[in-house]
Amino acid sequence: MSRVEGLRANSSQFTLEGEPFRILGGSIHYFRVPRAYWEDRLLKMKACGLNTLTTYVPWNMHEPERGAFHFEDQLDLEAYLRLAGSLGLWVILRPGPYICAEWDLGGLPSWLLRDPNMKLRTTYPRFTDAVNSFFNQLIKKVVPHQYSEGGPIIAVQVENEYGSYAKDGQYMPFIKEALLSRGITELLLTSDNKEGLKHGGVKGALETINFQKLNMNDIQYLDGIQPHKPKMVMEYWSGWFDLWGDLHHVYTAEDMVDVVTEILKLDMSINLYVFHGGTNFGFMSGASAVGMPAPKPMVTSYDYDAPLSEAGDYTAKYHLLRNVFSRYHAHPLPELPSHQERRAHQPVVIQQHLSLWDSLHLTDKSERPVNMENLPVNNNNGQSYGYTLYETSITSEGTLNSKNNIRDRALVFVAKHFVGVLDYKTQELSLPDGKGKRILSLMVENCGRVNYGNTLDEQRKGLVGDIELNKRPLRDFIIRSLDMKPGFVNRFTSGHWMSMRQRPTFPSFFQARLYVNSPPKDTFIKLPGWSKGVVFINGKNLGRYWSIGPQQTLYVPGPWLHRGDNQVIVHVFFIFMYWDIDVPTGGTSNIIKMVTSHLTFCTICP
């Protein structure tokens, strides 16, 4: 079709090419879905009756170090946009720079926090300089994919839910101008909950609303501040995210579809957040601090109880929605794409282990503790994710007090013997008696930075201040970084690994081999009896696991496996296990075996 006039909001209805147009949208984030499955998920979206894809852009993935930009492979945004267009889907792009999204620091790169005076999401010069540098790279890739250029992008969102932050009245105009000055010409939008609408708008951008439960007072409020304009629910929350230690959230299909039906009856446009959540692979999940005494980290799965499951399966929500959306199409919807096959495997036996103490490299020496972001690593961009080991010498027992300066969780060792855990709740430990000089070690885990709320500027990790022994600050630290970046497992040569005949120390890495004798299919890995850590398949970080739940399995995408042997490495703090002595028939030597020594690969996510 010829392109004359893109999406417009000049009356109570959207128009596209001058004709009435209703946005039936859904969010699928390219950075949460294996690239090999992008097409499968988008085809399933279209078959459900949706006409518009929305996606965020995660700054911290595209610029992990200042000035080092990545737009290839899993992060090939242009390929994702081209794919959407080729499948007949329009796109609403949400480029941030802040995205929330239950993503570490709301998508902002942690190296921004190296500046002790940083004020995120404001016109603080060092923040706006960084935004300008990122947008210089990002927007030039986006512009050719706009509707006016023959591409699928019909609208672009200015920032994200700024009304819930609203610390700087000049910030939203700055972001808007940053988009326009670089060639964005399509309709501009903002997105806020009802309270955020009071402060989140910017002149020249259509305001939209976010909610899960329909409240007519909220709709009337939106209509009142923006009369004679199209009304849109930019985020209709199809489910909710999960936090470690909480129950799994469920929003029933019937309740969800009832609200969607009412929204459409009101002649509103809608975007399902999310239509398909995918996975927070690696260390990218965020944390929640709203209404809590301390932050709680998000789980690895971003299933969200969405219409398509974490693994791309159809759900009851999907089928009910398809029935509703079909009424808003003049022609029958496409047939459903085939179900993605999965495969279970025989339990995998752990073969080797490697002590974490043997895998660390010296990072820094410092009189005082240094937080992760200010460590001299990654080309002086600091450490973004993972773990940091702080060690110092002590000559006495007594009370160790964290002074609430541990972010977020520390395993405490004396002479490599485990003593206990320090975190937001537990801030004191009694150290055991001992003679002479001993090494005190604190393995500090960054469990995920808060992604929403007013504490973004405070999301530095590691040791963020002094810790005290018997009320005296500890000094003279040796600091080691363990960020587990892609490729880090390559440092483990075969000579480092120990046989399981030898009792492991903790924390440790454990290695196994998964043999796949047919074309690889999706599976889930279950770790019965394992406590907390991270799993790698062929060098790819599947994400965190934690026995406290609610998540009990990790999703393993089929495209990340290959026929033959697949390397499985599990980083674990502890295993709930016991050791047994086995005397072989006719033998005299004892073989120590770990009873909880296997990993299970299953077809469902319980």
Q: State the catalytic residues.
A: 161, 235
Handedness of CA 345, 349, 351, 352 (dihedral sign): positive
Distance from C-alpha of 336 to C-alpha of 577, rounded to nearest angstrom: 46
Contact assessment for residue 339 and residue 313, using Cβ atoms and an 8 Å cutoff? yes
Burial class (CB in 10 A: 0-12, 13-18, 19+), 442: buried
Contact assessment for residue 291 and residue 246, using Cβ atoms and an 8 Å cutoff? no
Distance from C-alpha of 184 to C-alpha of 162, rounded to nearest angstrom: 20
Distance from C-alpha of 429 to C-alpha of 433, rounded to nearest angstrom: 13
Structure-derived torsion over alpha carbons of residues 398, 404, 410, 415, reported in degrees to the nearest 10:
-20
DSSP 301: B
Contact assessment for residue 377 and residue 480, using Cβ atoms and an 8 Å cutoff? no
Burial class (CB in 10 A: 0-12, 13-18, 19+), 434: middle
* Short-list 229, 60, 77, CA closest to 153: 77
Give the ranges where 59-101 is alpha helix by DSSP (H).
59-62, 77-86
The count of C-alpha atoms lying within 13 angstroms of the C-alpha of 322, restricted to the half-sphere facing its C-beta, is 18
DSSP 314: B
Contact assessment for residue 281 and residue 312, using Cβ atoms and an 8 Å cutoff? no
Contacts of residue 482, defined as CB under 8 A and 6 or more positions apart, other chains included, come to 356, 359, 360, 386, 387, 388, 389
